[in-house]
């Protein structure tokens, strides 16, 4: 499930469960054993998320950060029994008094020094979920690219945290032809993309999953339970709005989904009520 919302949710949970608590760190699978030994006996002092990257801050002079990226397959399991046996290949394990973290299959799990952190920050764009985000830089960067908007939305150097589900759903919400070159978008549309990204990621962080569309009729068992029931186009065969068939094609190495009937414009022409999305997904102060 790893788009930005997943990572920010993990950050909140880990801060709550592990920071300021006695935590042991090890590597049942072995590939993080040396690093775990370096931090053994230290305290976790903070947690941070930036786009799809997660950082555990430790009280260590040389290696203050563990840098985690889940990649496509990585998962975090948090057994309520901290002593639970590892299931599968656990690269890094944290055991606190209330919970454990079993990190499985991450693309990246490494120690980082201050230089490493600075380098990473430098090549990432703006994360709508961060208080220090600079919307201006994100919008300007977006409008400078010639690539199709659906490709640019995956570019972590522009907006950090969006992935293949959000890019498809964002283009749909705007009624945008996903192949529209980003540099043809108006500033107003770029602003809208930024606002919607923030609203959707915020809702995703709160709920733990990507919710874009109102869940569909709860009339029969199972309704609203499939992921596609909360989305407009991603992995769907029919458009929820017009009923037409959803197109799919590789773009930027990933499968892009879009509705060829609802998404015909190179300017935002939302096929659904965006104010409801923006309002419903961002209650004041909730996160």
Task: Give the interface segment with DNA, choosing from 20-28, 83-91, 131-139, 169-177 (CB under 7 A).
Answer: 83-91
The least distance separating DNA from the CB of residue 89, rounded to whole angstroms, comes to: 4
Q: Which tokens in the block code for residue 144?
A: 């400078």
The question of whether 126 is a catalytic residue gets the answer no
For DNA, the binding residue among 20, 22, 71, 283 (CB under 7 A) is: 71
Catalytic-labelled residue, pool 9, 35, 52, 91 = 52
Among 12, 130, 235, 254, the one annotated catalytic = 254
Distance of CA 129 to the CA centre of its chain: 10
**Among residues 162, 33, 23, which one has the least CA distance to residue 96?**
23
CA distances, 4 to each of 134, 151, 159, 183, 286 (Å):
17, 17, 10, 24, 17
| Binding characters for DNA, 227-266, by CB under 7 A (x = yes) | x-------x-----------------xxx-----------
Q: Tell which one of 22, 37, 59, 72 touches DNA (CB under 7 A).
A: 72
Tokens encoding 50: 């930036």
Distance CA 187, CA 135 (A): 12
CB closer to DNA, 13 vs 265: 13
Is-catalytic flag, 35? Answer: no
Q: In whole angstroms, what is the distance from residue 268 CA to residue 40 CA?
A: 52
Q: Catalytic residue at 61? A: no
SS3 assignment, position 195: helix
Which residue in the set 3, 35, 126, 229 belongs to the binding site for DNA (CB under 7 A)?
Answer: 3
Q: Is 30 in the site for DNA (CB under 7 A)?
A: no
Instruction: Decide if 224 contacts 179 (C-beta within 8 A).
Output: no
Residue 279 designated active-site = no
Contact 230, 210 (CB under 8 A): yes
Q: Rule CB under 7 A: say whether 88 interacts with DNA.
A: yes
The footprint of DNA on residues 108-147 (CB under 7 A) is none
Considering only 37-45, 84-92, 193-201, 262-270, which stretch makes contact with DNA by CB under 7 A? 84-92
Whole-number Cα distances in Å, 174 to 7, 76, 258, 270: 25, 33, 11, 4
CA 236 to chain CA centroid, nearest Å: 20
Indicate which residues carry an active-site annotation.
2-3, 52, 254
Contacts with DNA by CB under 7 A lie at 1-3, 6, 29, 31, 51-52, 69, 71-75, 87-89, 91, 104-105, 107, 154, 156, 163-165, 209-210, 227, 235, 253-255
């Amino acid at each position: 499930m790893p788009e930005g919302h997943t990572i920010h949710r993990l950050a909140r949970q880990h801060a709550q469960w592990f920071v300021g608590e006695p935590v042991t760190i090890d590597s049942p699978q072995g590939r993080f054993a040396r690093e775990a030994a370096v931090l053994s006996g230290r305290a976790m002092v903070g947690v941070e998320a930036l786009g799809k990257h997660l950082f555990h801050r430790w009280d260590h002079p040389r290696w203050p950060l563990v840098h985690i990226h889940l990649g496509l397959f990585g998962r975090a399991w948090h057994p309520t029994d901290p002593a639970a046996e590892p299931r599968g290949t656990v690269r890094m394990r944290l055991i606190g008094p209330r919970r454990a973290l079993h990190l499985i299959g991450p693309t990246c799990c490494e120690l980082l020094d201050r230089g490493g952190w600075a380098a990473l920050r430098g090549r990432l764009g703006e994360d709508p979920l961060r208080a220090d985000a600079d919307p201006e830089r994100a919008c300007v960067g977006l409008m400078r690219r010639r690539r199709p908007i659906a490709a640019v939305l995956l570019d972590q150097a522009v907006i950090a945290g969006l992935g293949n589900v959000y890019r498809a759903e964002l283009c749909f919400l705007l009624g945008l032809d996903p192949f529209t070159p980003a540099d043809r978008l108006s500033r107003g549309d770029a602003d809208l993309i930024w606002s919607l990204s923030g609203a959707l990621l915020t809702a995703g962080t709160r709920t733990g999953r990507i919710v874009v569309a109102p869940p569909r009729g709860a009339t029969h068992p199972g309704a609203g339970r499939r992921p596609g029931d909360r989305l407009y186009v991603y992995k769907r065969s029919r458009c929820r709005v017009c009923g037409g068939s959803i197109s799919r094609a590789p773009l930027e190495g990933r499968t892009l989904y879009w509705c060829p009937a609802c998404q015909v414009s190179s300017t935002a022409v939302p096929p659904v009520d965006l104010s409801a999305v923006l309002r419903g997904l961002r209650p004041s102060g909730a996160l």
